[in-house]
Amino acid sequence: MNISDSETIAGYLATMNYERTNIVEEADFIFFHTCCVRDSAENKIIGRIGETIRLKEKNKDLIIVVSGCMMQQPGAAELLLNKFPHIDLMIGTSNLNSIQYLVEQVIINKLNNLKYQKAQIKCFNESNSNFDEDAPILRSSWPNSWVSITKGCNNFCTYCIVPYVRGPEISRHPENILNEVHNLLKNNYKEITLLGQNVNSYGNDLKSEWTFAKLIEIASNFEYNYRVRFMTSHPKDLSQELIETIAINKRISKHIHLPIQAGSDKVLNLMNRKYSVEKYIKLINNIRNLIPGVSITTDIMVGFPGETEEDFLETMNIVKQVQFHNAYMFIYSPRKGTPAAKMPNQISSLEKKDRISRLIKLQNKISCEISKEYLNSTYEVLVDNIISDDIYCGRTDNGRLVKFKAQDSNIIGSFVNIKIKYNKGSSLWGEII
Ligand code: SF4
């Protein structure tokens, strides 16, 4: 989501004649787009903002702007500004369409020598109900592209800050989504990822017949050679209609990211996830029966308040049982303002670290074993990047990253057949055939 937002921000700044630089010391303008989902992301961004004090001392005209969902937390912008008074402007996620005006104000103040004017803070939710359809998106990841279909979330998982900082779930008008997809295909994009906090509930607020299954079916029916992916799914909302649509549509990637979060019903209940382990397993079995070759990845959180060693062992058992291709594994970190932050029985940091290391070890072993099943088979890979010199990478139809050697950079953006020769841990290495 933040990569997608950042492309919008870059687009607005490009209309003001700003160009990207990779050398931070040369920048006239530094834009931090923050995330507050975990405290590690917050700490990292605070460190980076701190580093710019020295740059601003050298270049008083340097403009520092901070944006993103961290700014949407009550009082967060003011606190950050007290710590770093050299920031020029703070903008919330719902106010990105005001960037040009707000940046112009900063520049005018600087021209008028109002250098020490306190930063403006523009972090309100008043425009949350509208998608910015006219945003001049500056995409930077061809042949891949991101298309937002919803924003916000109604689920209120007890550990999660998103519904508070991104507001209620709003579905984008299907016509606008499909127009954007069509335009991307006309511009030679090869992979479209439909994005939302919970894409499965797309359309619930539209008061019409639109479902996510219907949307992705139409989005994958244009006459071009391309793939459609999506993220993220909530297990409680992933419908039979969607599974069947994925199964029969060759342009829809056979990869489903389905966060389980925990393997204990008690913990899932405390998290307000609204499904049981049994229901999750049934869903996985159904998906695997209907979509041969599907890869399933997940998110798992350890150390949620009240998680006992027995609860954690249930998570380990589910991981063994389901055999996820891969998992994003996190230590729970309390987010101020969420119910879980105030729950009793918070888990010690030592305990959390011990659990996450056992979980990572187990999942790595499983991912490595699954990767071996790919050896000596051939897959169609969409080449999307160069890693170094003559090493390229791309993804299979079921979302597996494959690395291989090639000589011609024109290969990026093509579909090639790759025979998998070996694996290094979970990563797959092959050669073009
Ligand atoms: S579904 Fe839960 S975890 Fe995902 S964004 Fe919504 S509240 Fe957060």
Those residues with Cβ within 8 angstroms of residue 16's Cβ, 6 or more apart along the chain or in another chain: 100, 103, 104
Q: Distance from the CA of 323 to the center of ligand 1, in angstroms?
A: 23
d(CA 373, CA 393): 19
pLDDT of residue 234: 98
pLDDT of residue 114: 59
Q: How sure is the predictor about 123, in pLDDT bands with cuts at 50, 70 and 90? A: low
Mean pLDDT lowest for which of 112-116, 269-273, 296-300, 429-433?
Answer: 112-116
Q: How sure is the predictor about 278, in pLDDT bands with cuts at 50, 70 and 90? A: very high
CB 417 within 8 A of CB 380: yes
Q: Is the pLDDT of residue 166 over 70?
A: yes
- The reply to whether 141-253 and 258-373 are identical in fold is yes
Q: What residue spans of 335-401 are helical by DSSP H?
A: 349-372
- Higher-confidence position of 315 and 166: 315
Cα 425 to its chain centre, rounded Å, is 24
The CATH T-level fold of domain 141-253 is: Transcription Regulator spoIIAA (3.30.750)
pLDDT tens-digit map of 301-333: 999 999 999 999 999 999 999 999 999 999 999
d(CA 110, CA 100): 15
Q: Distance from the CA of 295 to the center of ligand 1, in angstroms?
A: 22
pLDDT tens-digit map of 172-185: 999 999 999 999 99
Mean pLDDT across the stretch 192-201?
97
Cross-strand partners of 386? 392
Closest by Cα among 286, 284, 266 to 276: 266
Instruction: Using the atom order of ligand 1, give the atom closest to the CA of residue 232.
Output: 4
Average pLDDT over the chain reads: 93
Q: Is the pLDDT of residue 126 over 90?
A: no
- Residue to substitute in 35, 38, 153 for testing ligand 1 pocket (most ligand atoms within 8 angstroms of CB): 153
pLDDT tens-digit map of 246-271: 999 999 999 999 999 999 999 999 99
Instruction: Using the atom order of ligand 1, give the atom closest to the CA of residue 166.
Output: 5
pLDDT of residue 111: 81
Q: Is the pLDDT of residue 119 over 80?
A: no
Give the SS3 label for residue 44.
Answer: helix
pLDDT of residue 130: 75
d(CA 323, CA 363): 8
Closest by Cα among 124, 47, 113, 53 to 87: 53
Residue nearest to atom 8 of ligand 1 (CA): 160
Cross-strand partners of 255? 295
Q: Distance from the CA of 23 to the center of ligand 1, in angstroms?
A: 35
d(CA 6, CA 328): 22
Q: Find the angle CA(375)-CA(381)-CA(386) to the nearest 5 degrees.
A: 105
Q: Where are the domains of the chain?
A: 2-122, 141-253, 258-373, 378-432
pLDDT tens-digit map of 409-425: 899 999 999 999 999 98
Q: What percent of the chain has pLDDT over 70?
A: 97
Q: Is the pLDDT of residue 408 over 80?
A: yes
Q: Residue 323, Cβ neighbours under 10 Å: how many?
A: 14
Three-state secondary structure string covering 147-181: EECEECCCCCCCCCCHHHHHCCCEECCHHHHHHHH
Q: What is the CATH number of domain 258-373?
A: 3.30.750.200
d(CA 142, CA 98): 26
pLDDT tens-digit map of 338-349: 999 999 999 999
Q: What single-letter DSSP state applies at residue 346?
A: P
Q: What single-letter DSSP state applies at residue 36?
A: -
CB 324 within 8 A of CB 298: yes
Whether 253 is in the pocket of ligand 1, judged by its Cβ within 6 Å, is no
Closest by Cα among 392, 395, 404, 397 to 429: 404
Residue nearest to atom 2 of ligand 1 (CA): 157
Cross-strand partners of 145? 192
Q: Is the pLDDT of residue 128 over 60?
A: no
Amino acid in position 107: I
Those residues with Cβ within 8 angstroms of residue 259's Cβ, 6 or more apart along the chain or in another chain: 232, 233, 234, 235, 298, 299, 300
Residue appearing with tokens 């700014």? 71
DSSP output for 245-312:
HHHH-TTB-SEEE---B-S-HHHHHHHT----HHHHHHHHHHHHHHSTT-EEEEEEEE--TT--HHHH
The CATH T-level fold of domain 2-122 is: Rossmann fold (3.40.50)
CATH superfamily of 378-432: Nucleic acid-binding proteins (2.40.50.140)
Mean pLDDT across the stretch 347-359?
98
Closest by Cα among 97, 77, 75 to 34: 77
Instruction: Using the atom order of ligand 1, give the atom closest to the CA of residue 198.
Output: 1
CB 402 within 8 A of CB 396: yes
Q: Residue 388, Cβ neighbours under 10 Å: how many?
A: 6
pLDDT tens-digit map of 22-58: 899 999 999 999 988 888 888 889 999 999 999 999 9
d(CA 316, CA 312): 6
Mean pLDDT lowest for which of 26-30, 74-78, 186-190, 208-212?
Answer: 74-78
